[in-house]
Amino acid sequence: MIRVLADRAELADLVARHSLRVDEGRYDETDRLFTEDVVVNSPVGRPTASRNSSSW
């Protein structure tokens, strides 16, 4: 149970850090928050470039 709570806290922190960067227009810093194999799903679609691409 403690592991579940710790994981939940980590995810909440990740969402907060990502949201802050997006709200402040610091999009170029958001890729540093995720692993190389991140999968992004959005209401407007999925990115077509890889994470390492400048167009991501």
Question: What is the reported pLDDT for 51?
Answer: 55
Encode pLDDT of 5-39 as tens digits: 999 999 999 999 999 999 999 989 988 898 888 88
> Which secondary-structure segment (H or E) carries 1?
none
- What predicted TM-score, i.e. pTM, was given to this entire model? 0.66
CB 32 within 8 A of CB 47: no
C-alpha distances out from residue 10 to 4, 7, 16, Å = 10, 5, 10
- The total number of residues shown for the chain amounts to 56
Tell me which residue has tokens 């692993």: 35
Cα angle at 5 between 29 and 22, to 5 degrees?
20
